[in-house]
Structure 1
């Protein structure tokens, strides 16, 4: 799946709800999946799909030895470049031996399959820390290799709950603006998402 796609398919949601064998509610089900998927991203501060190809993004270092880019799941196509003269260009390409990718080996709490989201300068290398502009450009294949099962499960749980709200006494006007709020109100979904939140304090 590409960045911006939903984290569970329409067919999976229809099976989870019933199963549902007709197409009468497909538009509403799709809306529920979309709003829930975007809500998951807002809560977790990350996207769980695969960009498919590498592209460049720029970042400000957190420290002289650390950059925190968005998630990327492979070293293939990875390029790290810096702006050492504060002119908005990135002429200095770093060798693979100049930095370390973390989490090490793509393992978190004993679980494989995690992407990298830290680039740590090693030996005597340091990232230029300007404080006014982004000084590091990272070219990578953004996202995760596969969507984690707990993310899919949380998506199905909340999308199903959202869809069922149409039958509530007062109904709902739309799904999009309420996605993240409804996820936070669901303890089962939040429990599944908790290990994947990049900045837990920001969603309390």
Structure 2
């Protein structure tokens, strides 16, 4: 039975029971993200395979029969249970007030570095992006450009923003060039939610925004009121 300890540790490095929401979180290494499996689908994921039988030799009397079932052990006997949360500032697993938390925030695309460590080609590329913001988004207004750049920097640095950037222009002016760049190359697609459905912010449910840093609302209907 002691030979199973290493297998148990390996198993628990990919799966962890959760009390809120109920179920099991599984680490998906191919997408580097966590996936929640509901209680009713657990047996499809962690199969209740035939019991493995072991015999332990006692000092007196016959050998004792011991059975091991990976599903039963993990779902009933394994005592580590977490609560899921989203927090860009915390590690993947942390304790607070004795409660174990699983941070399902997917993480940022890049590790922060001082600006001096970037190559000159990167600085030129950033200037190109800034020029587009100033020339296209802000019609050459530097004060507005500075506000937009600071807004984007604050959002990218995990701050909660209390204003929105509203862009309005004709077709093909390049509004989406910057937001597509941020989604693809700055934050990563896992932290950005892009939609044209107004119910995302007007409806009763917003679970799709959980763990997102930036919300892009494109071609939204407008009203004079």
Q: Normalization by structure 2: what TM-score? A: 0.26
> Which TM-score applies when normalising by structure 1?
0.27
